[in-house]
Structure formats: C-alpha cells, structure tokens
C-alpha cells in the first residue's frame, strides 16, 4: 500500500470565507501609486455597481440645481435667496436664524454666486470622477445648510447617498479608529436632539433636527460596518464561525492523505 500526501490550497470562498490581509498584501497595497489608491478609481466590481449609479444621480441633481440658478436673473441679484430665507424662517433651527441674518442676508448676491458655482463644480467633479471626496464634502456642507434652513427634502436624502459614497471610498482603518469616528458621528447627532420638534411619523420627515440626527446615526453605523464580524465576535463570541473554517487564512494549506 502506497501513501502520498496531496496538498491543496483552500481557495474556495464558500469554505474559507473572505480572504484575510497578510503582511505581503499590506506591502502590496502600500506600494500602489497614490493615484490608484485615492478617490475610488480602483473599485471592486460590487462596490462600483453600487457607487456609480449614486454618483451619477448626484451629479445630475447638482447640475440641475446649478443650471436652474444660473439661468435665473433674480438669483444673481440675491432676490431669490432672500425670498427663500424669508419663506423658510419659521422652519429654521434657532441658531441658523442668527447665521442667516448675520452672515447671509447682508451679502445675498455673493452667497448666491458661491452656491451656484459650487453646485456646478460638485456636479462636474462627480461626473468626471475627479476630486470626488472634496466634492462630496462640499455637497454635504451645502445639504446640511439647506436642512438647517428647513429645506429637508431632498437634502436629507442627498446626505445619505453622499455619506454612503464617502464611506465606500474611505481607506480601511482599525477598529479603535472606527469606534472613535462612530462616536464623533453620534455626538454630532446628539447635538441635534434638543432641536427636535416632532417624532410623529407623518411629520418627522420634515423635521430638520430629526433627519440630521438620523443621518448621523447612519454614518456611525456605516463607519463600523467593515468591522461587523469583529464586533459580532466581541459581543457574541466565535460560536459557529470556526466550525466552517471562516477564521482560516486563504494562504493556510490543508493536508489530505489519500491511501492507495
């Protein structure tokens, strides 16, 4: 009877689960050119399938909003902006009323110019996939400002999509850093709670503070999402994970003995 050992690499995801990052993998990532590791230019197919439609939708939305202002002569004079602020005054959060009166109302034409040009710039960046992260942060600032002014729809929904893309493009970080970032998002959301006016299902969608707090919670959850397996193990233990070899590295071979 002859015995020989056949070594097979465990390459099937159904058995091993997702591949783990080894020291060699870390060096290969670190050795990539910065341009290839930034702004999501080298996205995996599943991630791109989610991000690309959102990015194009946002680009179209910001382009439409910018063009609408550019072709409106009243917008360039600041009349449309002042009318918007007067209309939304009763819906603004208290501290934004002071900001509107002291920082926006005295120079409406300048603010109108900045808003229109910024919206067009955001659209171009998202459409051409250049400077995506700065464009998304600029869009978030605009949408937060609109929401604080009481214009929740569609700003709150834009915020969810923009935060989602930012999180998808962010570089991997350790669990400790992710927990700190999630805590900061929660703190931001907590600052909105004193300004919540209603939690009625029919009205909460139009409440600025409620929607901003909700978006902050979603951002915190999204920040921790890459570490959900680790958090599950910390809270529930490893029951049921090692049974199927999920914690085993792809590079670890399994030895099978065949007898002939």
**Confidence (pLDDT) at 259:** 52
- Cα–Cα distance between 148 and 93 in angstroms, integer? 6
* Position 19 pLDDT exceeds 70: no
Q: CB–CB of 88/150 below 8 Å?
A: yes
DSSP string, 111-178: HHHHHHHHHHHHHHHHHHTSSHHHHHHHHHHHHHHHHHTT--TTHHHHHHHHHHHHHHHSPP--HHHH
**Confidence (pLDDT) at 246:** 40
Q: Provide mean pLDDT across the span 197-203.
A: 90
> Which residues lie across from 259 on neighbouring strands?
3
- Cα–Cα distance between 129 and 131 in angstroms, integer? 7
Give the range among 161-165, 193-197, 249-253 with minimum mean pLDDT. Answer: 249-253
* Position 46 pLDDT exceeds 90: no
Which two three-digit tokens encode residue 136?
A: 């998304």
Q: CB–CB of 184/218 below 8 Å?
A: no
- Cα–Cα distance between 258 and 260 in angstroms, integer? 7
Distances (CA, A) of 125 to 114, 162, 170: 16, 13, 17
More confident residue, 149 or 232: 149
Q: In angstroms, how far apart are the furthest CA atoms of the chain?
A: 95
* Position 131 pLDDT exceeds 70: yes
**Confidence (pLDDT) at 13:** 40
Q: Provide mean pLDDT across the span 165-183.
A: 90
Question: For 257, phi and psi rounded to 5 degrees?
Answer: -110, 120
- Residues of the chain with pLDDT > 70, as a percent, come to 73
* Position 51 pLDDT exceeds 60: yes
Give the range among 10-19, 73-82, 123-132, 214-223 with minimum mean pLDDT. Answer: 10-19
Q: Provide mean pLDDT across the span 70-89.
A: 92
> Which residues lie across from 4 on neighbouring strands?
258
* Position 23 pLDDT exceeds 50: no
Q: How confident is the model at residue 258 (pLDDT cuts 50, 70, 90)?
A: low
**Confidence (pLDDT) at 62:** 96
- Residues of the chain with pLDDT > 90, as a percent, come to 57
Instruction: Please return the burial class of 49, using the count of CB atoms within 10 Å of its CB with bins 0-12, 13-18 and 19+.
Output: exposed
Find where tokens 């935060």 sit.
Answer: 163
**Confidence (pLDDT) at 82:** 93
Q: Provide mean pLDDT across the span 130-159.
A: 94
Question: For 89, phi and psi rounded to 5 degrees?
Answer: -55, -40
**Confidence (pLDDT) at 237:** 66
Q: How confident is the model at residue 128 (pLDDT cuts 50, 70, 90)?
A: very high
Give the range among 28-42, 63-77, 127-141, 175-189 with minimum mean pLDDT. Answer: 28-42
């Amino acid at each position: 009877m002859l015995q020989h050992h056949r070594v097979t690499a465990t390459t099937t995801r159904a058995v091993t689960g997702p591949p783990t990052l080894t020291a060699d993998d870390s060096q290969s990532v670190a050795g990539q050119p910065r341009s290839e590791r930034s702004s999501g230019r080298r996205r995996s197919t599943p991630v791109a399938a989610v991000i690309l439609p959102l990015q194009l939708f946002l680009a179209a939305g910001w382009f439409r909003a910018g063009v609408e202002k550019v072709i409106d002569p009243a917008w360039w004079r600041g009349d449309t902006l002042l009318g918007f602020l007067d209309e939304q005054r009763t819906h603004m959060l208290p501290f934004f009323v002071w900001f509107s009166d002291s920082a926006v109302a005295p120079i409406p034409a300048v603010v109108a110019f900045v808003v229109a040009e910024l919206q067009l710039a955001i659209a171009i960046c998202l459409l051409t996939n250049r400077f995506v992260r700065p464009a998304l942060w600029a869009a978030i600032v605009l949408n937060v400002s609109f929401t604080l002014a009481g214009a929740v729809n569609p700003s709150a929904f834009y915020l969810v999509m923009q935060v989602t893309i930012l999180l998808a493009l962010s570089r991997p970080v350790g669990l400790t850093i992710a927990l700190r970032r999630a805590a900061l998002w929660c703190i931001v959301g907590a600052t909105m709670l004193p300004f919540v006016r209603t939690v009625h299902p029919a009205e909460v969608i139009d409440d600025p503070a409620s929607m901003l707090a909700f978006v902050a919670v979603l951002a915190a959850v999204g920040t921790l999402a890459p570490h959900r397996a680790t958090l599950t193990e910390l809270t529930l233990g490893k029951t049921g994970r090692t049974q199927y070899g999920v914690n085993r590295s792809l590079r670890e071979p399994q030895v099978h003995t065949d007898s002939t």
